[in-house]
Chain A
């Protein structure tokens, strides 16, 4: 066998590198999958043990309105583990923050992409990126020293509550929604705009009949991402919401969210006890909700495209 044949039969240097690269990335992928699967398994096994070994009914947990896991209800012989106040609190702050943030986010991003592109790129873009990077404890601290006293002055009471939580979350998710909306608006093809203007549309008609319509799925995705962030935010909300596991009667009375109850309680309970398990069940709900948010994003991406 001559030299050339031998060379051709062997793996070349590049092929070896190619398969090595493939292997490294596959290994990274598998590691991530292992981590994700074990987190899921751990949270699930802990969370479900409330129902399996704790003997708690799922219905009582999801729809009960009294939360006091260390006290046993004398009638049913079960602890008070109604998580409804927290579930409602979480959804309330999330939706309210998203509802307030969305018009601001769309307005800002329209200004940046359609009206003042140069200034938008130069000033607004860095500002928004800076806001994304501010740690949540800073937002919480500002909420505690500025928002809560203002609410107390205006509405009375203690100032802690859903409203304060909404305001803090609104500021927190605004940059998230804005930057994603900007990306979507930028990706609307230029010839859409040109065609609209060519047939005599004003700039505003072009924006709301063509650009916004074409960008709707992207904007919805941005809003859902913002909501996912709001739903999972723990620290900033815990600092301003008051952490009372009560059904929210109005926006300025103390309430709580799934995350705030978790961070408050996890250090004060004993691993393996029911009080600890119910906290894991709350964590499980949070995990499932973030899964739901992800599914919504995918569904929007698949079905929402303009036809």
Chain B
């Protein structure tokens, strides 16, 4: 065997060794650390709530860490069903997401989010029926004067396909119809600033993002308010789900109880723009069936 060959073999062993060290370090991650760590991944709409609640929880229970990451509803559901994380945050029922085996997952509904159509102030419209919404987003109506507003072309701004907000809006605001291809933005803050500055623009966000720069239109003459959602009058809203893979382990269950506690549900939840799950006077099932509580 020549010398250069031997060198190559040794180098390969060293390289493989480095990979192995990283691998072992990865496999042994967190195991030496004391205390428990709960990881939640998923919906960016639910992220602020779980994050804030997690911080409070960690303060009250020293040694427990709640690690919350975004990534989107799809990421949350697939990670939790693979068992990679403890909690998967989602804006939609797991049954509604393609490629997810919902049978393994346990649903914990921790809050409700209402979604309102957002309009630019100059459109001259303050109320839209669900039929009008459907006509706008399927491209049948292209100018605001057709709906009694100004002579201004309609500019549709969607959230990314597959986002929870968009799925909810299409299901309940557009009666299940798909929006036509239009421009897409990947955050609610961005959507609001574009709607505020673009004449003719229409989009939709969670109630928490509504401010004076835009018009939050009534739907079927019902104002988008928390009360109208919890009374079951306003149609476009969704549950915020936290999924666990099977029944939660003890520390996870304790944290979920904390999320559902009256303390959090009456302070943090409304403060961050969500609607408390305890305020809901109705429940809605996966198939859309609404039952009075």
Contacts and interface: CB of A to CB of B under 8 A. Distances in A.
Interface of A: 19, 22-24, 26-27, 29-31, 34, 67-71, 149, 152, 157-160, 238, 242-246, 254, 256, 263-273, 275-276
Given A152-B198, A265-B160, A265-B161, A270 B74 contact: yes
B74 A268 contact: yes
14 contacts: A23-B14, A26-B8, A27-B11, A70-B161, A158-B155, A158-B157, A158-B183, A264-B161, A266-B72, A267-B44, A268-B162, A270-B74, A270-B98, A272-B78
Contacts of B19: 31, 34
B273 interface: no
B186 interface: yes
Contact of A267 (B71, B98, B182, B198): B71
Interface residues of B, number: 40
B186 A264 contact: yes
B257 interface: no
B7 A265 contact: no
A69 B161 CA distance: 9
B201 interface: yes
A70 B74 contact: no
Nearest to A245: B181
Contact of B163 (A157, A268, A273, A275): A268
Nearest to A69: B161
Contacts of B185: 243
B252 to A, nearest CB: 22
Nearest to B41: A267
B160 A159 contact: no
A273 B7 contact: no
B228 interface: no
A77 to B, nearest CB: 15
A232 B19 CA distance: 28
Contact of A244 (B71, B73, B182): B182
B184 A264 contact: yes
Nearest to A271: B78
Contacts of B163: 268
B73 A268 contact: yes
Contacts of B75: 267-268, 271
Given A19-B7, A265-B160, A158 B181 contact: no
B10 interface: yes
A242 B10 CA distance: 52
B160 A67 contact: no
Contact of B160 (A24, A160, A264): A264
Contacts of B157: 158
A71 to B, nearest CB: 6
